[in-house]
Chains A and B, each alone.
Chain A
Amino acid sequence: MADYEVPKLTGAGYVEVPAIEPGSMAGKGPFVAKPDFQKALHFPSDFNKGQGEGERYELVPDWKNKALAKLDDLRHRYRSLQLYLDICVKCGACTDKCHYFIGTKDPNNMPVARQDLLRKVYRRYFTFAGKHFPKLVGAVDLTEEVVEEWYNYYHQCSQCRRCSVFCPYGIDTAEVSMAGREILDHIGRGSKYNNEIISKVFKIGNNLGLPGMALADTLEGLEEDVEADTGIKVRFPLDEEGAEVLLVTPSADFFAEPHVDGLMGYAKVFHEAGISWTLSSYASEGANFGMFIGSYENMRRIALRIREAAIKLKVKRIVFGECGHAWRVAYSFLNTLAGPFDFLDPKYPVPQHILEVTWGLIQDGKLVLDKTANDDKVLTFHDSCNVARGSRMGDKPGGQFEYPRNVIKAVCNHFVDMPADTIHDATFCCGGGGGLLTDDLMELRVKGAQPRMEALKYVTNEHGVTHMAAICAICKSQFTKVIPYYGFKMDQIVSVHQLVSNALVLQRQVSVQARPDDEDEDEDGDED
């Protein structure tokens, strides 16, 4: 199946910390972004294709000074970066916490060592000790080799922030790897996967490059599917002005499995609750890849689309679908990047997570649920890293752990949690987050999934778990792709709202929203 060794699972429920194998993941990193895509993101694009057999691009002219200038700029704009470059004491508490280190054994994947790739250059050029005693403090000159190391290892970090939970100073490697990628983007080393996707968002509106027409077709198809299934016309509205809710969801929800089953779940929930809603073809993407590359400006540009769509469609609320990175940017940054949202209904938080909506409705007794519809499954739940460690649901700390579990338990009879040190804020990343969900990083993705697979194997053996639910498009895509390497089946991964969709008994015969094609008749009827 692969030309590298797939880690073996023990079923013990935990992973042994491996002995280090220096250089085991040394390499060139993912495919490099072309100048066109760099340009679309406002990054320098004056670099050429390299001569010779390799396909690599050259760095921009005067790259060294530009890299150092960017590092200097970032450390003056981000307290986190400046502080985290200074205060690490190398205690080692983080060294066994990264799923990529556990899976690959490469010591540069230990959070502290990953940070050090940038820190040793920071020291050399910006600190007294590093300028005068480089050897003593482990400071090094910035060379092309160092740049390649950055490119390789900053794309072996999914920015899941598990290390930040365990660091006595809260040092967050995600902040450092984001800065690393931002510097690389400014010297001609952008990653193809991320930057191409962001440029698609700017050009077409979503990560997958689905134009409005295709989207409308897809949604119509889904309406037909649900009707064939239930006999009830559940609307999937697009660009419908005056709807109460603007739903922003990862574009994977429009066609990938099991994502699309989740989308059907949201639609049914809105339908049952009598909440009018709409998607926007202009802001048809929830995920914000600007975060992955540490670019505040691009992240803001992506976020502003949602504001514009909300204003244009005159909605009262913004709700996000099941997407981990989307939810972190939405919950933590949307107000910062694109706020204030004082034009929306102040009764609801901005934005809301679909699980907040659904759990609220369940608590209010607004949904009729038949739990037995999911009796063929024993569920466990994968806390997505960015939801778990970078966001909240509800108004109490930890709501992001409770809401999905509450909803799952409300729609399923059989639920088991994975071992305690692999869930909640100690959750392991799926192995594909943070802009690494690309086939050129397959080995990393497979190995990085090992800790989560160990936990899943444990509950499979001990409690007969058959399915793992997730609330992040990347988790779902990554797992469906990598779990076969570990002997599981891809359809064992499900959306939480897929479970809701299964259990929800539709009572409402007619949708609160008329189809646009029926509109003429309607307007004739209630003319003033």
Chain B
Amino acid sequence: MTFVSLLYGLLFYFATFILIGGVARKIHQYWTTPAPLKIPTTPAPVTQKGVVWRMFREVVFFESLFRSNKTIWLFAFLFHMALWLVLLRHSRYFVETGFFLNFIQPFGKYASFAMVLGLAGLWIRRVIVDRVRYISSPSDHLMLALLMGIALSGMMMTFVAHTDIMQVKAFFRGLMFFDWHNLPASPLLLVHLLLVAILMIIFPISKLLHAPGVFFSPTRNQVDNPREKRHVAPWALELEKHNKIYLDEVKHG
């Protein structure tokens, strides 16, 4: 076991713990925080089924973004869809490959170009459009840099300097089953994995929370039925129960 492999093994345990634990904590927070008022942006679906369909269109096609800005939509859609393909392709490092994973490999491979193109478009926009430049903080640029670094280092290994991917697979399968293997001593691989681990770690404390968060957005996930069904938050029900108007009257009285 080399020192670097040990370090990366521990790093990935840590990153996985932070990612899963952190996102779970956030989801729990969103889940348990009441939405006291019905605020769907209308025209909103009047059935639960309709809401699922609305959310599907939002998450898969970025429907609202398409309406708002075709340029952002194009780059964001390219980036996200390519990211999915690349991620699917990467699942071969964790599970046995079958027909589907083999089939997806070339798509995932070339999707990386779309991913870089999408990221580049988003980044250029952030710099040249005065409005978007105004709202950008350093972390917004760093996030793009991080994703770009991950994409480029990954592409280098695919198209320029190959890494022993069987050994990489052995390393990650080993982490999963506590049967540790060494990582190939490739600087590109180490850079790629380090950036991925950083991304995993900052996920729950950054704007990347938009991924789970979008499902909780009351303007998008609520059924438009306030006249038919009474909707009251627990803290508001407390007011009714005590026949009070103001919350501090309940707390103190």
Contact = CB atoms under 8 A, between A and B. Distances in A.
Interface residues of B, number: 69
A169 B137 contact: no
Interface residues of A, number: 76
Interface stretch (B8-16, B151-159, B173-181, B230-238): B230-238
B120 interface: no
B220 interface: yes
Provide the main secondary structure of the chain B interface. Answer: helix
A229 interface: no
B217 A397 contact: no
Contact of B226 (A107, A113, A335): A335
Nearest to A115: B135
B161 interface: no
Contacts of A260: none
B135 A168 contact: no
A274 B206 CA distance: 61
B142 interface: yes
Interface string A1-35: 00000000000000001011010000000000000
B252 interface: no
B39 interface: yes
A56 B170 CA distance: 69
B219 A170 contact: yes
A138 B218 CA distance: 26
Interface string A379-393: 000000000111110
A161 B42 CA distance: 10
Nearest to B22: A128
A165 B43 CA distance: 10
A166 B46 CA distance: 20
Interface string A326-369: 00000111011001100000000111000000000000000000
Contacts of A166: 64-65, 67-69
A175 B229 CA distance: 22
B44 interface: yes
B39 A82 contact: no
Contacts of A89: 207, 210
Contacts of A88: 207, 210
B185 to A, nearest CB: 33
Interface in B110-155: 122, 125-126, 129-132, 134-140, 142
B137 A137 contact: yes
Contacts of A79: 30, 33-35, 216, 218
B227 interface: yes
Nearest to B130: A20
A425 interface: yes
A331 B226 contact: yes
A200 interface: no
Interface stretch (B96-104, B189-197, B239-247): B239-247
B81 interface: no
A396 B47 CA distance: 10
A76 B32 CA distance: 9
Top 9 closest pairs, chain A to chain B, by CB: A138-B137, A166-B68, A170-B219, A87-B213, A397-B43, A92-B132, A170-B220, A93-B68, A398-B43
Given A169-B210, A392-B42, 13 more contacts: A79-B30, A83-B217, A86-B213, A92-B126, A138-B138, A165-B64, A167-B64, A172-B39, A297-B247, A332-B226, A335-B229, A335-B231, A389-B42
Interface of B: 26, 29-30, 33-39, 41-46, 50, 58, 62, 64-65, 67-69, 72, 76, 122, 125-126, 129-132, 134-140, 142, 202, 205-207, 209-210, 213-214, 216-220, 224, 226-233, 235-236, 239, 245-247
